[in-house]
Structure 1
Amino acid sequence: MTTHRIRVGIDVGGTFTDAVAVDATTLELLGQVKVPTSHHHEDGVAHGIVEALGRLLEQTGNAPDDVAFLAHGTTQATNALLEGDVATVGLIGIGTGPGAALTRKLASLSKLELTPGKRLPLAYAHVGDPDDAAAVRRAVDEVVRGGAEVLVATQPFSVDRPEGEEAVLDAARGRGLPMTAAHRITSLYGLRKRTRTAVVNAAILPRMLATADLVDASITKAGVTSPLMVMRCDGGVMSLDEMRRRPLLTVLSGPAAGVAGALMQERISEGLFLETGGTSTDISVVRRGRVAVRHATILGKTSYLSALDVRTVGVGGGSMVRTDGAKVTAVGPRSAHIAGLPYACFATAADLAGAKLATVRPMDGDPADYAVVDAAGGRFAITMTCAANALGRVPEGDFARSDQAVAKAAIAPLAAALGVDVATAAARVLDAGTGQVKAVVDAMIGDYRLDKDTAVLVGGGGGAASVTPHLAAVSGQEGRIARHNEVISPIGVALALVREQIERIIPGAGQEQILAVRAEAEQAVIAQGAAADGVEVEVTVDPQTNTVRAVATGASELRTQDRSHRADDGERLRAAAASFKTDPGEVRVLATTASHTVYGTEVHHRFRADRHPVRVVDADGVVRLHAPDARVETTTVGAAPQVLASLVDESTSYGDGGVRAPALRLLIGSRIADLSGVLDPQPLLALARGELGTRAAAEPVVAVVEART
């Protein structure tokens, strides 16, 4: 049953602000509104956020105190960097001797290009002794005279010895300027990259602080008592206080909202999310139930900002067709929106009377081969959406659905020029457009070693139907359009989990150090409001870079979904069989917990050892874990340490590459604890003991163990 409690997600875009209300129990979409983004209001985007919230509450009949969770995503930080609308940074370098020369070179960060012809405004000053308060004050005076609106302190090796940077901030505190230290932004080594990341963060800090204060005050004034959360660029959300400290985490967060929606609403465990708008498609990866992230490139340089690995292709629902009169040569990158033309498929039959094919040059410098139709109602663009509708690829009720007969009439002049029927012409248009997308999809499948047979394609965004269904058809992969695809981004904001990532470079990290990094990540999300008993932490140890990384996620309040729509045994079995691509009769149950069922089958090979693929299916019938060849053991919390020690010992490999413990995952209660990122057996077993820590000795535990080749 539903409750009156709701989760609200607000996505602040460049043109519109979209907001949705989701039932906090069933996660059902209850309402959605769209208002113009209020860039030019005296309260900035905060005004549009509050306006959207007010309309949403009115639409759903909820009161402000019914809001259990409120989060917003914003492109403000990204736009500030793209437009060069940033504050002047006062950078104070610290050090004496040889280290001082390296630090003084950081003054060259003023050469970072924001936009063509516009560089990062930066004033640099140096202090030898950070404990010399008078010298620090003189350095602050120097950068303030240079226009500094925000301060950054940086020193070599501050990750290990932060006292110098902190001393500079203490001495500068009376100036009333926002300030930060490089070690507070990232704890990774590399003076220049660490400082560059901190400086870019500082450049957007004053503007983001002002916006945060306005949004916070406006939401409080509206009567909402739940804490306000902000979308991060890695698919999670953070507290407003954390955003005030590290606004850089909101840069590149636009695509993250959509993939968060796909992850939480569509329950993807392995696949690709394609968010298609009018002009482009953003492609991202979900692997083993988690979004793929990497260190982002900002202002043309790599940073220590972990952001969604999203790759953009210039093909969207409004992308225009290009032709040489004999064949379809390409689709895009120009769209109907850029050309200022309506989509032909959204015209009326009368508008398209007497339609003739013509080609145009959408913008100066473009080739003059973009196809349009000139008809009784004017000039119209032939787009990917027109072709998808002509082939019946757009589902009923979809945002991009048009009358199929009109869509066919829109394609007919092109078909006549090509000497083919309408269906063939439409297919050639979609082939040209999705071919560009497929190249990127195939590359990402290879990069992340996804199993192409099980990786699902999920389309989101208003233009999803113009790309995903056809791509799935031609590639032979499973594909679907996300429910409520046109508002998948604000849904993602509403459903996103609190997330924190802690990275440390620790040569030869032992189990105590690894456990300490894990605990730091766990406490960070709890401090931001995540319920302690629902936090999951994934730990990865990279022996090549000596990086220990812990990613913690958790819900800001425990969500209890409606139990009335759970999959029965038959549905779960069929889901597993479909994932294995085999008959249900060939699948057997290997283990069960209250929340998951583990299925296995056998794959026989003539010339090599048999494989034992495993699938873990949750109570909704969603495959949450794919293992191509694994061993499954059921034990209890009390017996687990000894059982796991034996399993790990038996499955650990030794070779020229060193010791490689197996990939271990534990099913405990409602969770899948993924410990596969640790290669050393002893820290792996220590982490496993930590996962079992406070649970009852008789509670069942299922171990899924994959030996590494």
Structure 2
Amino acid sequence: MTTHRIRVGIDVGGTFTDAVAVDATTLDLVGQVKVPTSHHHQDGVAHGIVEALDRLLTQTGHSPADVAFLAHGTTQATNALLEGDVAAVGLLGIGTGFSAVLTRRLAALAKLELTPGKRLPLRYEHIADPDDGPAVRAAVDRLKEAGAQALVTTEPFGVDRPEGEQAVAGAARASGLPTTAAHEITSLYGLHKRTRTAVVNAAILPRMLATADLVDASITKAGVTAPLMVMRCDGGVMSLDEMRRRPLLTVLSGPAAGVAGALMRERVSEGVFLETGGTSTDISVVRRGKVAVRHATVLGRTSYLNALDVRTVGVGGGSMVRVAGGRITGAGPRSAHIAGLPYACFATPGELRDATLTTVRPLPGDPDDYAVLDTSGGRYALTMTCAANALGRVPEGDFAHADPETARAALAPLAAALGVDVPTAAARFLDAGVDQVKPVVDALVREYRLDTDTAVLVGGGGGAASVTPHLADRAGMTGRIARHNEVISPIGVALALVREQVERIVPGATQEQILGVRAEAERAVVAQGAAPDGVEVEVTVDPQTHAVRAIATGATELRTHDRAHRADDTERLRLAATSLRTDPSRVRVLAGTPAHTVYGTETRRRFRPARHPVRVVDADGVVRHHAADARVEATTVAGAPEVLARLVAETTSYGDGGVRAPALRLLLGSRIADLSGVLDPQPLLALARSELRSRSADEPVVAVLEVRT
């Protein structure tokens, strides 16, 4: 069943702004448009966003009232930092004695280099007493006279005792300048890194506020009543009000949109996502159904910004082949786009007649070994896309599909120069490209300990077919191209969940404190529009750093999906057996809920205990969780507290490293509650009880436990 309601995702790129409409019920793509990004319009990128929305609604026959969800991703914050186009920041340091020494050192943040030769415009003023209103106002006046356009207040121990930062920020806001306290941006310890993160946030604040106001006003004027959301760098979205407070969260959000699309639309639970454009490939990880994030490097320094862990390789669909001494020496980093040349595979057969191979320098100072074709109709680049089409790796209907015969004709002069046939030349060309990508993928697989039995390579972006299929063959992994790969980023924006992360340093955290952090994260996503009944919260407690982290995600509405395409029992069993690498006859159904089925088998090893690998498969036939050796038990909400207490007691490990509770996941309703980030048995059980709260007593619950050694 479909409805007339749609979810709209808009991805603002450096050159084009892409917009898609997704049916709010089936999540099927129902429309897509592309318009030039309006950098130079008086309304900036806001104009292009509204233009894309207007064209999309016209194309799909929808009205603004049909828009149930609207979100956009933007590179504006990233570009501002890369180009050094930032506001001057006034930093108000607080403290006396040794604290004053520490904060005065922060004036050195003015040495942060934005671009070669251009440093962060920062002015510093010191406040001894945060409650001295006249002194604060005088310091703010001096900063304004020096050209400050945004203010930051900071104080040692401001995370634990924020009153000083709050008092100065409150007085400073009377100046009319955007003002933030450092503890509001991050609550992690480390005065220098915390302040640096807040300062960089402030540097882009005025520009992002202006854009937010323009977009908000334009969308409202267009008649859209759905709240406007903005893509975060960790794969979720946030409300416009939250973006106004922390625009830094949009930095590096470009690649996050693509992996969000892979996660939500392709239902990847374990694998590597490769988003390939014309010039480069962004590589990121999905592990156990979640995107991999880490503290990002901003302006060459680590920050407290949690962003997608993305590695970029200079190989894309437009990468040109390099030839020397009768052999292929590389692919890229220059692309046809940079060289200003058309792809040879998109020429007509007549235009390629009598083509001759020559080498050029794409740009002054480049090596002169990039191969091109000179023809009577002009000059063409030989690209990775040409090679992929020549080998038939680009499926019909793909954004990058060309006639394979034309692609083979384009590669014929290269093959002759190498002394091989066309398929061999094409394969060597792709080898040269993917050989640069494979070490990065291998490193990510090792680093995140991906389960190679179930990990898949998923290709997105317009150039996906030029990298992912060949790489999958070389790596011996399963690979596929995402549906509608050329618009996977705006699809990711349209499908992304509201996300919020709360992180606190709490030495010896009690159950109440851990539950408090969890509740704070849950309240934050609900405040941004997430439906309370669908919020999921993952809690991690790090006993070494004393960090308590809660990541809450939720949809802005309770989603209902079309059930017509769902897998039946036989299909799910077959998929589970494939993932378990065994025959279906050896697989048993261990437990289940209406949304998930747990399958397991047994593997015996000589002189060692048997293992019981498990797969959790959802109604669509997607493996949502896999464990190499797990214990599974079914119960009800009413019986769960007693059952879980027994199971945790039986599977908790004790050793030199301390107490280690099992990695616990609960299948409950439509979701999998991941409690594996907690090592202490009592807080673990307290969190489990919080997940069961307000649910029907007879509702089924399945516990999946993995013993930690």
TM-score, length-scaled by structure 1: 0.99
Whole-angstrom distance in 2 between the partners of 1:465 and 1:339: 21
Asked if structure 2 preserves the Cα contact closer than 8 Å seen for 1:77 and 1:208, the reply is yes
Question: SS in structure 2 opposite 1:69?
Answer: strand
Question: SS in structure 2 opposite 1:604?
Answer: strand
Higher mean alpha-carbon deviation, 659-668 vs 409-418, is at: 409-418
The within-5 A match list for 1:505-584 is 505-584=505-584
2:672 maps to 672
Higher mean alpha-carbon deviation, 21-30 vs 606-615, is at: 606-615
Question: SS in structure 2 opposite 1:563?
Answer: coil
Higher mean alpha-carbon deviation, 598-607 vs 511-520, is at: 598-607
Asked if structure 2 preserves the Cα contact closer than 8 Å seen for 1:506 and 1:548, the reply is yes
Asked if structure 2 preserves the Cα contact closer than 8 Å seen for 1:11 and 1:73, the reply is yes
Question: SS in structure 1 opposite 2:705?
Answer: strand
**Equivalent AA in structure 2 for residue 562 of structure 1:** D
1:662 maps to 662
Question: SS in structure 2 opposite 1:130?
Answer: coil
Higher mean alpha-carbon deviation, 575-584 vs 204-213, is at: 575-584
Whole-angstrom distance in 1 between the partners of 2:425 and 2:359: 16
Asked if structure 2 preserves the Cα contact closer than 8 Å seen for 1:149 and 1:177, the reply is yes
1:412 maps to 412
1:520-563 deviation per Cα after TM superposition (whole angstroms, max 9, x unaligned): 00000000000000000000111111111100000011110111
Kindly state the Cα deviation for residue 607 of structure 1 after the two structures are TM-superposed.
Answer: 3.4
2:326 maps to 326
1:273 maps to 273
Whole-angstrom distance in 1 between the partners of 2:170 and 2:609: 64
Whole-angstrom distance in 1 between the partners of 2:176 and 2:669: 50
1:633 maps to 633
Question: SS in structure 1 opposite 2:611?
Answer: coil
1:347 maps to 347
1:385 maps to 385
Which residues of structure 1 form unaligned runs of 5+? none
Whole-angstrom distance in 2 between the partners of 1:170 and 1:346: 61
1:373-393 deviation per Cα after TM superposition (whole angstroms, max 9, x unaligned): 112222111110010000000
Kindly state the Cα deviation for residue 490 of structure 1 after the two structures are TM-superposed.
Answer: 0.3
1:436 maps to 436
Asked if structure 2 preserves the Cα contact closer than 8 Å seen for 1:522 and 1:535, the reply is yes
Asked if structure 2 preserves the Cα contact closer than 8 Å seen for 1:634 and 1:700, the reply is yes
2:223 maps to 223
Does 1:257 find its partner at 2:257? yes
The within-5 A match list for 1:365-380 is 365-380=365-380
Does 1:241 find its partner at 2:241? yes
Does 1:70 find its partner at 2:74? no
Which residues of structure 2 form unaligned runs of 5+? none
2:605 maps to 605
Higher mean alpha-carbon deviation, 604-613 vs 685-694, is at: 604-613
1:451 maps to 451
Higher mean alpha-carbon deviation, 569-578 vs 226-235, is at: 569-578
Question: SS in structure 2 opposite 1:564?
Answer: coil
1:592 maps to 592
The within-5 A match list for 1:12-91 is 12-91=12-91
Asked if structure 2 preserves the Cα contact closer than 8 Å seen for 1:315 and 1:433, the reply is yes
Higher mean alpha-carbon deviation, 448-457 vs 384-393, is at: 448-457
Kindly state the Cα deviation for residue 360 of structure 1 after the two structures are TM-superposed.
Answer: 1.0
1:152 maps to 152
Whole-angstrom distance in 2 between the partners of 1:404 and 1:325: 28
2:287 maps to 287
2:306 maps to 306
Question: SS in structure 1 opposite 2:284?
Answer: strand
1:337 maps to 337
Question: SS in structure 1 opposite 2:603?
Answer: coil
Whole-angstrom distance in 1 between the partners of 2:678 and 2:185: 25
Whole-angstrom distance in 2 between the partners of 1:444 and 1:175: 48
Kindly state the Cα deviation for residue 698 of structure 1 after the two structures are TM-superposed.
Answer: 1.4
Question: SS in structure 2 opposite 1:635?
Answer: strand
Whole-angstrom distance in 1 between the partners of 2:169 and 2:704: 49
1:496 maps to 496
**Equivalent AA in structure 2 for residue 330 of structure 1:** G
Kindly state the Cα deviation for residue 368 of structure 1 after the two structures are TM-superposed.
Answer: 1.0
Whole-angstrom distance in 2 between the partners of 1:163 and 1:408: 70
Kindly state the Cα deviation for residue 340 of structure 1 after the two structures are TM-superposed.
Answer: 1.0
**Equivalent AA in structure 2 for residue 637 of structure 1:** V
Question: SS in structure 1 opposite 2:605?
Answer: coil
Question: SS in structure 1 opposite 2:195?
Answer: helix
1:264-309 deviation per Cα after TM superposition (whole angstroms, max 9, x unaligned): 0000000011000000000000011100000000000000000000
Whole-angstrom distance in 1 between the partners of 2:103 and 2:133: 19
Whole-angstrom distance in 1 between the partners of 2:375 and 2:408: 14
State the identity %: 81
2:195 maps to 195
4+ runs deviating over 3 angstroms: none
Asked if structure 2 preserves the Cα contact closer than 8 Å seen for 1:385 and 1:463, the reply is yes
Asked if structure 2 preserves the Cα contact closer than 8 Å seen for 1:325 and 1:417, the reply is no
2:205 maps to 205
Does 1:647 find its partner at 2:647? yes
Whole-angstrom distance in 2 between the partners of 1:335 and 1:602: 50
**Equivalent AA in structure 2 for residue 438 of structure 1:** K
Kindly state the Cα deviation for residue 642 of structure 1 after the two structures are TM-superposed.
Answer: 1.1
Question: SS in structure 1 opposite 2:296?
Answer: strand
Asked if structure 2 preserves the Cα contact closer than 8 Å seen for 1:26 and 1:562, the reply is yes
Whole-angstrom distance in 2 between the partners of 1:171 and 1:38: 38
Note the aligned Cα RMSD (angstroms). Answer: 0.7
Asked if structure 2 preserves the Cα contact closer than 8 Å seen for 1:350 and 1:376, the reply is no
1:382-417 deviation per Cα after TM superposition (whole angstroms, max 9, x unaligned): 110010000000000000000101100111111111
Whole-angstrom distance in 2 between the partners of 1:183 and 1:209: 20
Kindly state the Cα deviation for residue 586 of structure 1 after the two structures are TM-superposed.
Answer: 1.3
**Equivalent AA in structure 2 for residue 410 of structure 1:** A
Kindly state the Cα deviation for residue 319 of structure 1 after the two structures are TM-superposed.
Answer: 0.4
**Equivalent AA in structure 2 for residue 16 of structure 1:** F
2:109 maps to 109
Whole-angstrom distance in 2 between the partners of 1:218 and 1:254: 23
Kindly state the Cα deviation for residue 474 of structure 1 after the two structures are TM-superposed.
Answer: 1.8
Whole-angstrom distance in 2 between the partners of 1:655 and 1:362: 61
Whole-angstrom distance in 2 between the partners of 1:604 and 1:324: 54
Kindly state the Cα deviation for residue 646 of structure 1 after the two structures are TM-superposed.
Answer: 1.0
2:402 maps to 402
Whole-angstrom distance in 1 between the partners of 2:384 and 2:607: 47
Kindly state the Cα deviation for residue 70 of structure 1 after the two structures are TM-superposed.
Answer: 0.3
Whole-angstrom distance in 1 between the partners of 2:317 and 2:513: 50
Whole-angstrom distance in 1 between the partners of 2:225 and 2:426: 52
1:93-121 deviation per Cα after TM superposition (whole angstroms, max 9, x unaligned): 00001110000000000000000000000
Whole-angstrom distance in 1 between the partners of 2:334 and 2:531: 47
Kindly state the Cα deviation for residue 656 of structure 1 after the two structures are TM-superposed.
Answer: 1.3
Whole-angstrom distance in 2 between the partners of 1:271 and 1:133: 55
Higher mean alpha-carbon deviation, 152-161 vs 353-362, is at: 353-362
Higher mean alpha-carbon deviation, 367-376 vs 662-671, is at: 367-376
**Equivalent AA in structure 2 for residue 324 of structure 1:** A
Whole-angstrom distance in 1 between the partners of 2:9 and 2:634: 40
| Number of residue pairs aligned between Structure 1 and Structure 2 | 709
1:320-358 deviation per Cα after TM superposition (whole angstroms, max 9, x unaligned): 111113211111111011111111111111111111211
Question: SS in structure 1 opposite 2:389?
Answer: helix
**Equivalent AA in structure 2 for residue 309 of structure 1:** D
Question: SS in structure 2 opposite 1:524?
Answer: helix
Asked if structure 2 preserves the Cα contact closer than 8 Å seen for 1:317 and 1:464, the reply is yes
Kindly state the Cα deviation for residue 173 of structure 1 after the two structures are TM-superposed.
Answer: 2.3
Whole-angstrom distance in 2 between the partners of 1:418 and 1:577: 45
1:10 maps to 10
2:357 maps to 357
Kindly state the Cα deviation for residue 608 of structure 1 after the two structures are TM-superposed.
Answer: 2.0
Whole-angstrom distance in 1 between the partners of 2:137 and 2:435: 60
